[in-house]
Amino acid sequence: MSSRRPTWVFALIGFASGVALVMSTGERDAVAQPKAPVIVAAPQSPTLTTPSTLGAKPGAEVELTLTGTNLADAMSVMLGCPGKVTIPTDNKNGTEAAKLRVKVAIDPKCPIGLYTLRVSTKHGVSNARPFVVDTLSVVASTNANRTKDTAQAVTAPCVASGSVALETSEFYKVTVTAGQKLAFEVLARRIGSPLDPIVVLHDAKTKRELVDLYADDTPGLQGDCRLSHTFKEAGEVLVEVRDTTHRGGADFLYRLRIGDFPGATTAFPLAAERGKQASIGFTGSDTIPAVSVTVPTATTAFYAVPTAGKDAGWPVPVLVTDYPQAAEQEPNDEPAKANKLPVPGGVSARFDKAKDMDHFAIAGKKGQKLIISVSTFEVNSPAEVLVRVLDAKGAQVATSNPATPTNRFEFAPAADGDYVLACEHQNFLHGPNEVYLLTVVPSGPDLAVALAFDRTEAAAGSSSAVLATVTRLNGYAGPVELSIDGDAALSGKVTVPVGQALAFVPVLVKAGTKTGAYPFRVKATATADGTTVTRYGTLTDAVKASLGGMPNPPTELLNQCAVGVVDKPPFGIKMTFEPGAIEKGKTGKILLEATRGEGGDGDIVIAPLFLPPTVVPVVKPIVKGQTKGEIGLTVQPATPAGPTPLVFRATTKVGGKDYAFTLSGTLDVIEPKKADPKKEDPKKDKK
Say if 70 falls within a structural domain.
Answer: no
Strands 61-69 and 99-106: antiparallel
From residue 368, alpha-carbon distances to 255, 396, 447, 532, 575 in Å are 50, 18, 19, 19, 50
Burial, 383: exposed, middle or buried (Cβ in 10 Å; 0-12, 13-18, 19+)?
A: buried
User: pLDDT for 588-604, tens place per residue?
Assistant: 999 999 988 877 888 99
User: pLDDT for 566-590, tens place per residue?
Assistant: 887 778 888 999 999 999 999 999 9
> Where among 222, 237, 259 does a domain terminate?
259
* Neighbouring-strand partners of residue 654: 657
Answer yes or no: do 414 and 504 share one domain: no
* Neighbouring-strand partners of residue 619: 631
User: pLDDT for 347-404, tens place per residue?
Assistant: 999 999 999 999 999 999 998 999 999 999 889 899 999 999 999 999 999 999 988 8
> Where among 566, 597, 617 does a domain terminate?
566
Q: Which residues span the domain enclosing 410?
A: 325-442
> What is the torsional sign of CA 266, 270, 275, 279?
negative
- By the 8 A CB rule, do 227 and 181 touch? no
Could you tell me the CATH number of the domain that includes residue 225?
Answer: 2.60.120.380
Say if 637 falls within a structural domain.
Answer: yes
Answer yes or no: do 242 and 268 share one domain: no
Write the DSSP symbol of residue 387: E
Q: What is the 3-state secondary structure (H, E, C) of 3-33?
A: CCCCCCCCEEECCCCCCCCCCCCCCCCCCCC
Say if 523 falls within a structural domain.
Answer: yes
pLDDT category of residue 41 using cuts at 50, 70 and 90: confident
Say if 61 falls within a structural domain.
Answer: no
Say if 555 falls within a structural domain.
Answer: yes
Count of domains forming the chain: 5
Say if 133 falls within a structural domain.
Answer: no
In whole angstroms, give the CA distance from residue 69 to residue 45.
8
Could you tell me the CATH number of the domain that includes residue 641?
Answer: 2.60.40.10
Output the average pLDDT for the chain: 89
Question: Alpha helix (H) ranges present in 417-565?
Answer: 540-546
Answer yes or no: do 555 and 595 share one domain: no
Answer yes or no: do 283 and 331 share one domain: no
Could you tell me the CATH number of the domain that includes residue 546?
Answer: 2.60.40
Answer yes or no: do 142 and 232 share one domain: yes
In whole angstroms, give the CA distance from residue 53 to residue 42.
27
Strands 561-566 and 455-459: parallel
User: pLDDT for 188-247, tens place per residue?
Assistant: 999 999 999 999 999 999 999 998 999 999 988 989 999 999 999 999 999 999 999 999
Q: What is the pLDDT of residue 20?
A: 30
Answer yes or no: do 582 and 606 share one domain: yes
- By the 8 A CB rule, do 445 and 458 touch? no
Answer yes or no: do 247 and 280 share one domain: no
User: pLDDT for 542-566, tens place per residue?
Assistant: 888 888 888 888 888 899 999 999 8
Answer yes or no: do 381 and 418 share one domain: yes
Say if 34 falls within a structural domain.
Answer: no
Answer yes or no: do 625 and 600 share one domain: yes
Write down the pTM of the prediction: 0.86
Answer yes or no: do 429 and 474 share one domain: no
Answer yes or no: do 195 and 162 share one domain: yes
Q: From the CB of residue 87, how many other CB atoms can be counted at a distance below 10 Å?
A: 16
Answer yes or no: do 245 and 275 share one domain: no
